[in-house]
Amino acid sequence: MTEGTPNLRELNKRRTREAISHAATTLFIERGFDRTTIAEVATAAGVAKMTVTNHFPRKEDLVLDLHEEIVARPARTVAGRAPGESALASLRRECLAAIDRHDPALGFSGPSFARTVTGSPALLARLREIHEQSEEALGAALAEATDAPPGDLTARLAAGLLAAIHRTLFAEVFRRILAGEEHETIARAIRPAAVRAFDHLEGALGGYAVRPAE
């Protein structure tokens, strides 16, 4: 087995997680999130209830199963910025690429999924929490990138401004999906607005958290 190749246990774990997520999504779309129980998801996936909760400790994350990626990606993008690249430039680059590839982490999904999320107060609350966690992680990454102490106010303010772009675009993608628009149409519509949003922040943050040349 070559380095980086998942072993059989990891593959089985991934397949089980995917089977649970698929079964849950199907049930939630058919019955609604709030009316579906974890036990029913387990039965549909052919696993024990404990297996479901081991993979998804929170019921909401059965739907929002990309929560870890949504939380981690902005911070990871800043940490991986190129020499001479600012935090703003790296996040602009990643955001536009996400729009172009119709990334689910930016809200691109099917209308049934979007209706399931927007129709559940619990899921909307969890989505807000995920975006808040993403902003907090970004603030920590910006503080580290500028050699500032943890909780640095400048880093937190910058994170709030930058995270607002992603959060607003996510909501707009959902709105347009519910209105019946195709992904390509949505991407063409929101990309110019995303560019303008980053342009507006250029004066304030264009020189912030620039990675030193190696």
Q: Check residue 7 and give its pLDDT.
A: 83
- Under the banding of pLDDT at 50, 70 and 90, the label for residue 65 is confident
pLDDT, tens only, 71-125? 999 999 999 999 999 999 999 999 999 999 999 999 999 999 999 999 999 999 9
- Under the banding of pLDDT at 50, 70 and 90, the label for residue 198 is very high
200-210: average pLDDT: 96
Terminal Cα-to-Cα distance of the chain (whole angstroms): 35
**Is the pLDDT reported for residue 2 higher than 60?**
no
**Is the pLDDT reported for residue 6 higher than 70?**
no
Average pLDDT, the chain: 94
Give the angle 54-129-109 at the CA atoms, nearest 5°. Answer: 80
**Is the pLDDT reported for residue 10 higher than 90?**
no
- Give me the helix-helix angle, 153-178 and 111-118, nearest 10°: 120
Residue with tokens 């990891």: 10
- Under the banding of pLDDT at 50, 70 and 90, the label for residue 4 is low
Q: Check residue 213 and give its pLDDT.
A: 85
Share of the chain above pLDDT 70, in %: 97
**Is the pLDDT reported for residue 1 higher than 70?**
no
pLDDT, tens only, 24-48? 989 998 989 999 999 999 999 999 9
Q: Check residue 8 and give its pLDDT.
A: 85
**Is the pLDDT reported for residue 3 higher than 70?**
no
Q: Check residue 166 and give its pLDDT.
A: 97
Answer yes or no: pTM beyond 0.75: yes
Q: Check residue 5 and give its pLDDT.
A: 60
Token digits of residue 77: 């993008």
